Structure 1
């Protein structure tokens, strides 16, 4: 530095010159604030028009864009088929889909061009509902339906021998081969398409049970044999047997966990989400959730899925009529519970799914407001094909209602007047372990597996599925071990950004 201080004056002179130059440029254009982060979803079902032809998809994407919707939950898996050509399940034989046309691929291209995400919605268990079998011999209904016996039969069975839940034949998630098939459905779509997410639907045991439970389904003979072997019980359990109910609940949780791990192993930034049940009044806390109709009637423990980080987004099917006082209250109770779960695991977004088909348009707008007041991550409407109660009643058409709903949502003063953004999961935040046990004797499923720190403390615990797989998706950093059946693995250090394979554990 010079003794006359000229060097120390240079920064100030440069700053003054920069200020004069900026002043000469006139008023500066303000930088716009970034769009808020809020999921705004629309379910698009395949039970009618919406995503089956190029023209339908053009209309869908244009109308979603006009509404300022940023996520389409598109039903690509209806009943054991796919509205696509590159999946584990066969391409749909829906005659409304032009030959050679891939609806999912077309939707992704067009939606992404408008900044809209596409999440592939697949019905988890339903595989057929027609008296005429599917044309494809490899379809799960043909290969593993009512004409098959023994291990080849994957069908859900009620305690009285009923094989159909309403009009649907379904797969039993307690059958290990059926669970494997379900897992591969989701993985194949995530692997072969640039979807932003995959969504479970009906990832539970069926309805058609007494209000408040118990659930009467799950009596596939292979599933029953597993239950007996893994729990040491004999005979056929009653529907309300607490051990049987807990075992079936765990099969659903195992399926969600293993599918999430497999999807993340293929593409860590694909969102795994579920459309979850909210029957009746909302619980005050997690203890209340375990006693709710959701947990008792359909054996769906989505609170655990959130707590353990198996989901990126929980989309409650919070289907309540705003114009019915009790239901409007229930809608807000479930929102309040979801807000609690967001506090438990802030990395799992909580979205309130509104039944726009049961509501009049002002009621749907009011439920968006109630969702925001609860502090949730976003809102979704079911469904694009039936956008309000009048369309559902058949008194008006979708084409008449959509412009009105769009004006109410994104028009002046509407809740979606300003565009919002939604982002795919950050793969750098992924911390996941996938593992496999082997056994010399005894059942491979139903084994408790613990994740240990180096001091022997239990960080997490889970249960193997029917293939002997297990996994963890929420645990602290550092080196760990896994322990099952008294056998402890070597030490390993999971890294972020991918699904890490745990050392194999061989049980005697």
Structure 2
């Protein structure tokens, strides 16, 4: 009788914090470069031992690369998702120059990309663009050792940059400027006029036209959901890296209304330093995303790692900022407390020894809250 009472007492004491469980951890990374199979296996085995469960892996467009690396990932005990950008594509014989998005000044993203040279965004309103992407993702989804497709850059260019990036690019983005506002190609302008009767080229301030915003949200949503159906038809999962929100950030600056996307999982890039926010902000946007999805799909909180924590205060480039080891602990905890299914690291290669030490302790001893 004493033993029964003793066990019952332990259950009561431990139950107040819920059972302990390892936090699911995914990670973005690229490769394989010139690495041998053994070098890849050693790298993946090491990541698995440190607590990584799945990779969002950028290996280009060739299905053979994913066949090779996916087999090694599974050998190491990792889930393996092909991480392939969507709307950003360099020009090649497979592309048509008319497929690229056009800004409010009439300039093509192919010849005059915003911010950086690689911002060669396609227009989601072109049927040729959809078929190019469908062929790409389906060909990779058919690889046996692929567990899923992970979309990236599935959006318009940033009409307003995250506040932490303004100084880097010498910009003050207090409103939507035509130079960074897409897409005003012939197809988008004509289709919007047919749908609403509004010629957006004759509007003094297009940013005030709610229908114009919704039109572009819907263009991205449509192409995502068509791709989702195609990938699901191959029996594979599909997910996407998205901006935080969706309402607070993603819709406003990159036209992503991602709570309407038919995906299995969502990976908001909750990079607090880009928005001049403290790590606890990660919990706020995680909760926003979880509530917006309302059970529609899993949400993994994307965390941006600081590669040189001791130099963070002196680092001028915000893209070399990120979470210090102490901040990583806070970000993981507030992500899980606010309903995330897990976290995703950008990237394992940026993690210091101290990061891994804190990370290991936090993910291994997370207590599930009582229902």
TM-score of the aligned structures, taking structure 2 as reference length: 0.75
Correspondences of 1:46-61 after superposition (within 5 Å)? 53-54=35-36, 57-61=40-44
Give, in angstroms, the shift of residue 235 of structure 1.
Answer: 5.7
Partner of residue 219, structure 1: 184
Matched, 1:206 2:157: yes
Question: Which of residues 350, 354, 357 is equivalent to 1:407?
Answer: 357
Question: Which of residues 240, 250, 253 is equivalent to 1:294?
Answer: 250
Could you tell me how far apart the structure 2 residues matched to 1:314 and 1:354 are? 13
Could you tell me how far apart the structure 2 residues matched to 1:224 and 1:235 are? 7
- Aligned-partner SS, 2:355: helix
Contact 2:99 2:126 in 1 (8 A): yes
User: Larger relative contact order (C-alpha < 8 A, sep ≥ 6)?
Assistant: 2
Could you tell me how far apart the structure 1 residues matched to 2:39 and 2:175 are? 41
Give, in angstroms, the shift of residue 338 of structure 1.
Answer: 2.7
Matched, 1:334 2:290: no
- Aligned-partner SS, 2:142: helix
CA pair 39-381 structure 1, distance change in 2 beyond 3 A: same
Bigger proportion of residues as helix: 2
Deviations 1:155-184 (A, max 9, x none): 111111333132121211022221232233
Deviations 1:429-478 (A, max 9, x none): xxxxxxxxxxxxxxxxxxxxxxxxxxxxxxxxxxxxxxxxxxxxxxxxxx
Contact 2:149 2:238 in 1 (8 A): yes
CA pair 235-271 structure 1, distance change in 2 beyond 3 A: closer
Question: Which of residues 258, 262, 266 is equivalent to 2:230?
Answer: 262
CA pair 373-235 structure 1, distance change in 2 beyond 3 A: closer
Q: Which of the two has higher C-alpha Rg?
A: 1
- Aligned-partner SS, 1:250: helix
Partner of residue 316, structure 1: 268
Question: Which of residues 47, 52, 76 is equivalent to 1:69?
Answer: 52
CA pair 213-295 structure 1, distance change in 2 beyond 3 A: farther
Q: 5+ residue gaps in structure 1?
A: 1-33, 87-101, 146-152, 283-288, 388-400, 420-508
Partner of residue 372, structure 1: 336
Number of residues paired by the alignment? 309
Question: Which of residues 26, 30, 33 is equivalent to 1:41?
Answer: 26
Give, in angstroms, the shift of residue 36 of structure 1.
Answer: 4.9
CA pair 219-235 structure 1, distance change in 2 beyond 3 A: closer
Partner of residue 112, structure 1: 74
Deviations 1:49-83 (A, max 9, x none): x6553255234302211211101011134xxxx1x
CA pair 235-325 structure 1, distance change in 2 beyond 3 A: closer
Question: Which of residues 356, 364, 382 is equivalent to 2:305?
Answer: 356
Contact 1:73 1:199 in 2 (8 A): yes
CA pair 406-338 structure 1, distance change in 2 beyond 3 A: same
Deviations 1:220-263 (A, max 9, x none): 22332332333333362553122221111100000111111111
Q: Report the RMSD for the aligned CA atoms in angstroms.
A: 2.8
Could you tell me how far apart the structure 2 residues matched to 1:176 and 1:351 are? 31
- Aligned-partner SS, 1:157: coil
Give, in angstroms, the shift of residue 126 of structure 1.
Answer: 0.9
Could you tell me how far apart the structure 1 residues matched to 2:288 and 2:250 are? 13
- Aligned-partner SS, 1:233: coil
Could you tell me how far apart the structure 1 residues matched to 2:348 and 2:174 are? 29
TM-score of the aligned structures, taking structure 1 as reference length: 0.56
Matched, 1:167 2:152: no
Partner of residue 453, structure 1: none
Partner of residue 126, structure 1: 88
CA pair 334-368 structure 1, distance change in 2 beyond 3 A: same
CA pair 213-327 structure 1, distance change in 2 beyond 3 A: farther
